[in-house]
Amino acid sequence: MPGSLLTKLGKVRSTVEKEAHFLVRLKNIAHLLTGNFASSFIGLAGFALTARALGPTDYGVLAICFAYTRGVERLVSFRSWQPLVKYGAEALQAEDLSNLKTLFKFGLLLDVLAACIAWTVAVLVILLAGPLVGVSAEMSRIVLIYCSVLLFQLSGMSTAVLRLFGRYNILAYGQVLASMVRVAFCLFGVWVGWGFFEFLLLWMGAQILGAVNINVLAFIELRRRGLGGVLFAPVRGVAKKFPGLYSFSFSSNLSSAIRSSASELDTLIVGYLTDPASAGLYHIAKRIGRIAQQAGVQVQAVLFPDLARAWSANQFKDFRKIVFQTQMLLLVFGIGALLFFYLTIDRVLLWTAGPEFLGAGPLVIVQTVAVMMILCGTVLYSALLSMGKEALVLRIVFAATIVFHVTAFTLVPKIGPMGANIAHISMSFVLLSGMTYIYRKGLSKI
């Protein structure tokens, strides 16, 4: 009898601990979502003020500059936070602070190298390929100026530090501060009558400020944790200290880069196949739709470490439960976002960007359908990386991206920006169905 009672108490305790972990996960997700939604809505105010000040055509040019540099960064930059979190958690558990410093130094060097490569690629593409595809000299000059922001995009290591130590509140609310500063300057610019060039410099400064801000916060956290002196840590032999670091980093980053050719270059595709005004409408719609998509990004940030730990510990029941709970949570959120935009999008556009951008309303609705599918796919993406299925994920991402580009280049010339939204739905369907198949097949063998 006592033994049976102890067994039951043990099961109850285990259940309570698991639910406590779920609540902690929800709390961290809530921090990130609150900060990102606040940042996105505040940022949307900045975009709206800029759009009102410049009008569709000039705003479209600025949107193309923003999309081009962001697209190059996503394609070329090395997302060091994923391998740093995965291998950093192991070093932290072993209390190996020396190797942890080495890993962070390695990640920082990757960030610097990737930023320099991204800037070089962005400049060379404009100088060499720009004239071949009909980019004007004036447009090339503007984009080249904006490319300077790429040299400051060093966020991989700092993001890993704050996520590894659970400082999701700092990650979230640091962005809010940067967005508030940008909106304040936008208001000032509208008040004094700034033109295109002044707003160009403002957007550049806002991006640079955001990157510098997160790095400062990360180094403060490192010092607080007794990990000062990361800049002087030796990096020789890092691959031997962390076996599998290179292969995991290559596969996960390549799949992310391939996906970025769709998610980050779509505005450029619309602008190239139509005109700057259409690109401006599409960009506004994309920015609004991305507010909901941020939920998936932040859930992945919290979810990936938990899934990796559960899989490595052979806790397959917990693994399935985490995936199911999170997918249901995001599905409900996605449906809610779709209903919200369906009922309010015209008023949102009227109050923010102005009546000239009301044409973006249908684009937002269709984009949100794609976002719903992306949200569910985000959970499976993290699960498959934890299961060591990054090679299969890479194949699915490659196939889905081909579907996107074929659909976009076929439909955009015929129906305008809506063609890019439909292309996103097609890509999301391929990703979601493919990853679901691999996930279920992988778990069926256990």
Give residue-wise pLDDT tens across range 208-225: 888 888 888 888 888 888
pLDDT of 153 strictly over 90:
no
Residue 9 lies in a domain: no
Residue 2 lies in a domain: no
Residues 316/318/323/328 CA torsion (nearest 10 deg): 140
| Mean pLDDT value of segment 78-98 | 76
pLDDT value for 54: 80
Q: How confident is the model at residue 2 (pLDDT cuts 50, 70, 90)?
A: low
Q: How many domains does the chain have?
A: 1
Residue 6 falls inside a structural domain: no
With respect to residue 243, please indicate whether it lies within any of the assigned structural domains. yes
CB within 8 A of 132, min separation 6: which ones? Answer: none
The pLDDT mean for the chain works out to 81
Residue 350's domain spans which residues? 18-444
Using one digit for the tens of pLDDT, what is the confidence trace for 280-326? Answer: 788 888 877 777 776 677 777 777 777 877 777 778 888 898 888 88
Rounded Cα–Cα distance for residues 266 and 363 (Å):
13
Tens digits of per-residue pLDDT, 171-193?
777 777 778 888 888 888 888 88
pLDDT at position 406: 94
Residue 169 belongs to a domain: yes
> Is 43 a domain residue?
yes
Write the CB contacts of 262 (distance below 8 Å, at least 6 apart in sequence).
400, 401, 404, 405, 408, 423, 424, 427
* In-domain check, residue 3: no
Is 97 within a domain? yes
pLDDT of 429 higher than 90: yes
pTM of the entire predicted model: 0.69
Q: How much of the chain, in percent, has pLDDT values that exceed 90?
A: 9
